[in-house]
Structure 1
Amino acid sequence: MSWEEAPSSYNPHMLTKLPWSRLNACRQRSQSGQENPMNSALKIKSGAWQCEVAPALGGCLAGLWFDGKPVLRSPGAQALTSARQSGCYVLVPFSNRLSQAVLQWQGTSHPLVKNNGTEAHAIHGIGWQRSWAVLDQDESSVLMSHEHRREPGWPFAYDASQTIQLRPEGLSMTLSITNQDDKAAPVGLGWHPFFVKQPGMQLRFSARHRWEMGEDKLPTRALPHAGLHAPVDTLDMDHCFDGWSGEAELSWPAGQWSISSSLRHLVVFTRPDRDDVAVEPVSHVNNALNLLAQHKGLEPEDLGVRVLAPGESMSAHWSLQRRV
């Protein structure tokens, strides 16, 4: 299965519970100011799971709880001023850093926006910095959209939609992007969940390579690497792994979180002084778009980059379940 493919049972239309014709109608109502409660947090639940969503802050997860205990970093929407303080936010239309906040694409340099304090790079796309329109909601799910038109931050127009779904067995999220530009455009997708560390917690997954990082926080080369099986409390890491199996486990004596995704790259970020560990399913290598410009022998698919024709779409999903 290639990195952009979802399992045969995966059906984003079923997860949103809306046909695309109705989704477009919902989007039109949202644009007209109807059915768009963007200024308040939304709460959904299923079984022992509860989630708080902040549409105005990148459609992020302000909190996720199981049996009343936080699974992800869960400050709650009222405590947030940025999606990057949340429990999880989407990465669209690219993941991680683009060097010097410039996109090099097909011989043209496109200036982006430095969006991480004093850091020189652009990071994590622009979806996390935008308000998302609420298109549909019920007790256990939320459907949102975000539209971008050649504004500062990204030179290609696109539409994106995300679904957050709780079921008794856990959390499921989908993310889709459609190229609305008049030319082919490179895209990437992903999520940035921060899992609360538990005593004795270990992270385990399989991969093929780990990308080594320079002092500028950009990847330098890929080295063979089988993945990880390590305690998270002493882990000091901010690396991208490729050839990821699409499965990961966070286990501790009292339980286990099982992570599954259609994507085939995984970024792990944590330090011993942090209370959380980020385990991020993503579609491509950090700085992949600019690496393509630097290394002429590479093809987009070598680094996980998808190039969409006008009107073409890409979708991905990830899920989280509790194991005993």
Structure 2
Amino acid sequence: MTPTLLNLEDEFTHLSLAPQLGGSIVNWSVRGTGLPLLRHSDAHALNTGLPGKLGCFPLAPWSNRISEGGFECPEGWLALTPNSLTDPLPIHGSAWQQPWQVVSQTRDEVILQLDSTTPFAYRARQRFHLSDGKLSIDLKVTHLAERPAWYGLGLHPYFPRTTGTQLQAQARHVWMCDGTKLPTHLSPLPAEWDFQSLKVLPDTLVDNGFCERDGHCLIRQPALGYELECQATGSDYYLLYCPVGLDFFCIEPVSHPVNAHHLPGRPGSRLLEQGETAELGFSLHYRYPSN
């Protein structure tokens, strides 16, 4: 069954959301031309019912993969099981695999909410706002369980990739990974992964976490005739995924590196008591290139 979509518009862009499919963005595009600002989702992608086939989905109460079958909380071990047909490890939390409820909707703003009991009780809210070609997404979680738990947040947008797609994003170090896609050690940036200045995306696979960032990134799409000026808050890391030979890439604002629950000091993770909250924001501003 095709899910019900919510639609927002501003002067320049159009946004469609699928609350039932993990509170996901289906499409964000330019009004009039239909140019995709996030990877285009067609009817087939929508009918799969899989947020990973759409434009963007939320990551809560953690981002990316967790090893060892779970993680330690102050009150004991929290066991987790794999939750994706394409990955042997628990991945991306639980918010993306549950239907969200509509709290409110206007022409340019939607607020969605999820009350979850998996893997512990929490409430998540997403606020989507459109204004003058700028999409703002605010993700907030509140811990509801009596016992404290470790949290992390993120967003997983998919962007179009064409010949010449360029990225600018500050970082100082990158987590190198093993064959299981889990981080092993921090490394200075290889030259081909240094995006301090605008650079065409590499032709080889990138699936790594970058740290010591300022939250800003610029995505320039010469073949499509626009750029996106992006800014993240509550996000000291980003994950860059550039699959070889596919027409999309991902730069994901996240609050912690992959498998932070098992890294020394649990970098970027937050231990929340009942009633405490964590937040992450991401804005994407559509505009014509400045040069």
- Normalising by structure 2, we get a TM-score of 0.89
Deviation at 1:105, TM superposition (A): 3.1
* Corresponding residue for residue 133 of structure 1: 101
Distance 1:162 1:114 in 2: 25
3-state SS of 2:239 partner: strand
* Corresponding residue for residue 232 of structure 1: 201
Deviations 1:17-36 (CA, angstroms, capped at 9, x unpaired): xxxxxxxxxxxxxxxxxxxx
Q: Which runs of 5+ in 2 are unaligned?
A: none
* Corresponding residue for residue 248 of structure 2: 276
Distance 1:118 1:169 in 2: 34
* Corresponding residue for residue 218 of structure 1: 182
Q: Percent identity?
A: 29
Amino acid at match of 2:35: K
Are 1:142 and 2:106 matched, yes or no? no
Distance 2:107 2:236 in 1: 31
Deviation at 1:259, TM superposition (A): 1.1
Which structure features the higher share of helix residues? Answer: 1
Deviations 1:22-68 (CA, angstroms, capped at 9, x unpaired): xxxxxxxxxxxxxxxx9511111111210110010001001110131
Amino acid at match of 2:228: W
* Corresponding residue for residue 216 of structure 2: 247
Deviations 1:145-197 (CA, angstroms, capped at 9, x unpaired): 00112x4xx1x311110011111131110000001111222111110000011
3-state SS of 2:56 partner: coil
* Corresponding residue for residue 273 of structure 2: 309
* Corresponding residue for residue 74 of structure 1: 40
Distance 1:243 1:224 in 2: 11
Is the 2:173–2:187 Cα contact (8 Å) retained in structure 1?
Answer: yes
Matched residue count: 275
Deviation at 1:271, TM superposition (A): 1.9
Is the 1:105–1:290 Cα contact (8 Å) retained in structure 2?
Answer: no
Amino acid at match of 1:182: E
Is the 1:91–1:127 Cα contact (8 Å) retained in structure 2?
Answer: yes
Deviates most, 313-322 or 95-104: 95-104
Deviations 1:119-151 (CA, angstroms, capped at 9, x unpaired): 3210001100000000101111110100112x4
Is the 1:105–1:289 Cα contact (8 Å) retained in structure 2?
Answer: no
Distance 2:50 2:14 in 1: 21
Please, what is the CA RMSD of the aligned residues? 1.9
Distance 1:310 1:290 in 2: 23
Q: 2:238 aligns with which of 266, 272, 292?
A: 266
CA change 1:236–1:261 in 2 (3 A) is same
* Corresponding residue for residue 4 of structure 2: 40
* Corresponding residue for residue 120 of structure 1: 88
